[in-house]
Amino acid sequence: MANAILTSKSVEQQTYRSCMGLLKLAEKYSASRLESACKKALSFTATPSYKSIKNILVTGNDQTGSGDESAAIQPKTHGITRGAGYYRR
């Protein structure tokens, strides 16, 4: 995770604050929650930010699901959808 943040900017020193912020989040939340939040963030993007990881922790999304959201997506079935018969006039 730290590698993803460190390589997100062109100058590595610009990312030190983000890494230090992540370490502080491990003190407020647990290290295991931080790890699962980082995994979830990495499943969405290759370059997660401090803010996105913090939002995952604050909302508790790190504790729900396994991070694989594609399996949870269900097709929408609405009663107002027009079928093929409507278009065959």
pLDDT (0 to 100) of residue 74 = 55
> What residue spans define the domains of the chain?
2-67
Residue 31 CA to residue 26 CA, distance in Å, equals 5
Residue 86 CA to residue 89 CA, distance in Å, equals 7
- Number of C-beta neighbours around residue 21 at 10 A: 15
Mean pLDDT of each 10-residue bin along the chain, 89 residues long:
62 78 90 90 84 90 64 58 73
Among 44, 77, 46, CA closest to 62: 44
Among 39, 72, 68, CA closest to 53: 39
